[in-house]
Amino acid sequence: MASFSLTHPLNLKPSTAISTSCFPPSFYQNKSHIPNLRHQRQPASCKGSGEHDQSSVGNVDRRNVLIGLGGLCGGAAVAGLGSNPLALADPVAPPDVTKCGPADFPPGAIPSDCCPPVSTVKDYKLPSVSKLRVRPPAHAVDEEYIAKYSRAIELMKALPDSDPRSFTQQADVHCAYCNGSYDQVGFPNLELQVHTSWLFLPFHRWYLYFYERILGKLIGDPNFALPFWDYDSPPGMQLPALFANVDSPLYDKLREATHQPPTIIDLDFSTADIGVPPSSSQVSTNLCTMYRQMISCGKNPRLFYGEPYREGDDPNPGAGTIETVPHNSVHLWTGDSTQPNFENMGNFYSAARDPIFYSHHSNIDRLWSLVRVYVCDSLDTKKLGYVYQEVEIPWEKSKPKPRRGKSVLAKTSTTAATKKTTTTVNFPIRLDGTISTVVPRPKKSRSKEEKENEEEVLVIEGIEFDENYPVKFDVHVNDDEQSPCGPENSEFAGSFLNVPHWKKGDNTIRTNLRLGITDILEDLGADGDDIVVVTLVPECGAGLITISGIKIKFIS
Ligand code: C2O
């Protein structure tokens, strides 16, 4: 296991601790010098307005089916990117199961052997689909469904741990693929990681697929379909009741006590927000967050899926829009802040030990299938035998609004106002507190056609921090750095958010954040400006994050 090291990548001394609300108390017992600047946002000022189906053939090591994921995922992600020239690159190869090693667990974790029992790897062929399984929204399922699902989980939990279909081993699949059990084949120094890249969506789709099939098999119902936690829709914006019944096998005691139903979820959550009650406008703010992540920021497939992750690449090249938010934020919101590592949902080694994990991921998978209709027409879930029950998409029209009214924007060039007080930052810089910097725009006032062909992307490059921290910072464009706005306003361009997942050796993670800003700049009336003023607001982990640069690039 990796040694715990607080040596900062740039050997910069962390700044003084300001608040302790952002990491679990046990973090501080051992690491009392960890800084934790909790930025106080000022919301008041922000209101602008069969036969081959191995899961069904008894005691087959279904995890060896997953081993094919590396290749399948790479291929799948590539297919999803359509005509992207990157599609020609080699995908990350599937791991060598005979070389599965111990996973890396953070201090205080309850470890497990995350490696699957070794058996022969077979190619999985999808069975032909006679009837589609329909995944229902978790808040709307009836008693009969809850009884059936509970029974399925009960049976899965009752299987001996040595059984690859057991709940323990299913949870361990997640641990193996994100806590360093595998190296990339041919690259012994590169961990295989299924998060923070374009592997994220296809990996989890297949992961859920087999989990669902096993549950169906255990209760003798081939049409059993997992429920999705529709936290993107008002009736689903709380922990679904079926998971909150303490007597149910769907219950997990390692969840945040202050986030039990009917507490409304905060999709822009960071662990700095623990104990902060939801605002009265939480539902509409969540809808704005969904709009931003699904529509304005994720217009380009690469931004939506995440960065290419190819053979020989370092892990974590960059997450797609929905991986960061709401995926990561929902993990952290659900995990128990009194546990050393926000177990279970708030840390990737333990996340899949909570049955709610699979409903969280059903929703992420569904959000992907929604996008599919206008991003690409491959990757049909129907071939996997399931669809999602049709529900309203309430965030489609929840476009964030500029905090300054149109008339004000017209009078003052947005950037001119802020430029006077903003200097250019010298990178690399440690994010001790809020920073603002001027970023030149290589192109401005582009035609509608140019904008359709190329998305203007704000790239926060070389984000480095310790892997085991739930760090979050928000990115604002042309905002007031003294009182940055919330997700309900256009100036809030997006967030960077890490779910801790621990890693062998050096715990420093290095990744990038890309945010589409074409729509935002139009909304702000700033499309004719030569520059943008970018403000980075650390919400959690200030002093632990360094940034190597901020640039504007164009992605076609
Ligand atoms: Cu593999 Cu929600 O994480």
Mean pLDDT by 10 residues, the chain (556 residues): 27 32 58 34 30 32 36 30 45 87 90 84 86 97 98 98 94 93 91 94 94 97 97 97 98 97 97 92 97 90 92 94 97 96 96 98 93 54 90 93 69 51 84 94 96 96 92 95 93 95 80 96 94 95 94 95
Separation between Cα atoms, residue 159 and residue 166, nearest integer Å: 5
Q: Encoding tokens for residue 292?
A: 């931003």
Whether residue 327 is annotated as binding a ligand: the answer is: yes
User: Ligand 1 — pocket residues by CB below 6 A?
Assistant: 174, 178, 195, 204, 327, 331, 348, 351, 361
Cα-to-centroid distance, 227 and ligand 1 (Å): 16
195 is in an annotated binding site: yes
Q: What is the pLDDT of residue 156?
A: 98
pLDDT of residue 406: 59
Q: In whole angstroms, give the CA distance from residue 197 to residue 225.
A: 27
Q: In this structure, which residue's CA is closest to atom 3 in ligand 1? A: 348
Catalytic residue flag (residue 27): no
* 256: its two tokens: 């945040």
Q: DSSP string spanning 105-170?
A: --TT------SPPP-------PPPPSS-EEEPBGGG--HHHHHHHHHHHHHHHHS-TTSTTSHHHH
Spatial contact of 98 and 118, defined as CB atoms under 8 Å apart? yes
174 marked ligand binding residue? yes
To the query of whether residue 348 is one of the catalytic residues in this protein, the response is yes
Single-letter amino acid code for the residue at 551: K
* Cα-to-centroid distance, 365 and ligand 1 (Å): 11
| Residue count of the chain | 556
201 CA distance to ligand 1 middle (Å)? 9
Q: Is 327 a catalytic residue?
A: yes
Structure-token pair, residue 57: 């053939």
Q: Which two tokens stand for residue 107?
A: 């201090």
Domains and CATH numbers, the chain: 39-110+135-397 (1.10.1280.10), 406-555 (2.60.120)
Residue 452: how many other CB atoms lie within 10 Å: 12
Going by C-alpha positions, the residue among 254, 265, 377 that lies closest to residue 329 is 265
pLDDT of residue 120: 75
CA-360 nearest atom, ligand 1: 2
- Cβ neighbors of 444 (< 8 A, separation 6 or more) are 527, 528, 529, 530
Q: What angle do CA 65, 69, 71 make, to 5 degrees?
A: 125
Q: DSSP letter string over 448-498?
A: HHHHHH-EEEEEEEEEEEETTS--EEEEEES--TTS---TTBTTEEEEEE-
In Å, what is the CA distance from 275 to each residue of 337, 439, 544? 10, 36, 23
